[in-house]
Amino acid sequence: MIRTADISDAENIAAIEQESFTHHPWTKAMFQSALADPLYTFYVYEQEGILAGFACMKDAGEEAEIEYIAVAKPFRRRGIATRLLNALISASVEKGAQAIFLEVGAQNLPAVALYEKHGFTRISVRKNYYGEGRDAFVYQRILHKITHNAHRTMHNE
């Protein structure tokens, strides 16, 4: 089940972030502050009371930026990231965004596959973005063309 995250989720969110990434830009305190900030849209996916994944997006007017999508290891490949991503897309459409952006490690094949499967287009490469030899791909999805699909997907959640 997807629900909006609240500040009490910060600890579990930070734990999933720790096991999911080698590069950790956000501390638990940063998650707490973003959870309290209306510019961020935060969802968690719960399964039988366990927090299995989370997604976070920053609203920037006509643009939205996905900051994180992560799923705890035992829950991967069950469609949870897909549900979280569709929820973020629907929320960004509702907020009036025209496009959604994100950065992902060039070697992060699961995430690259996830975003490409969901209509994101690679628009640039940021060399050494995550450290020496670790490039980032920047992806974009234009939203105004797919508004109806995004809403239909959300209704299927």
Q: Which stretch binds ligand COA (CB under 6 A): 7-15, 90-98, 106-114, 138-146?
A: 106-114
Q: Does 117 bind ligand COA (CB under 6 A)?
A: yes
Q: Which of 96/112 has CB closer to ligand COA?
A: 112
What is the rounded distance in angstroms from the CA atom of residue 97 to the CA atom of residue 19?
A: 31
Q: Which of 97/106 has CB closer to ligand COA?
A: 106
Binding ligand COA by CB under 6 A: which of 36, 50, 113, 123? 113
Binding ligand COA by CB under 6 A: which of 13, 34, 69, 88? 69
Long-range pairs, 2-8, Cβ under 8 A, ≥24: 2/43, 2/44, 2/45, 2/83, 2/84, 2/87, 2/157, 3/43, 3/44, 3/46, 4/42, 4/43, 4/44, 5/35, 5/42, 5/43, 5/44, 5/54, 6/35, 7/32, 7/35, 7/36
Q: Does 108 bind ligand COA (CB under 6 A)?
A: yes
Q: Which residue is closest to ligand COA by CB? A: 81
Q: Which of 29/113 has CB closer to ligand COA?
A: 113
Contacts for 149 with CB less than 8 Å, ≥ 6 apart: none
Shortest separation between residue 24's beta carbon and ligand COA, angstroms: 11
Which is it for strands 50-60 and 63-71: parallel, antiparallel or unpaired? antiparallel
Contact residues toward ligand COA (CB under 6 A) are: 20-21, 68-71, 76-82, 104, 108-111, 113-114, 117
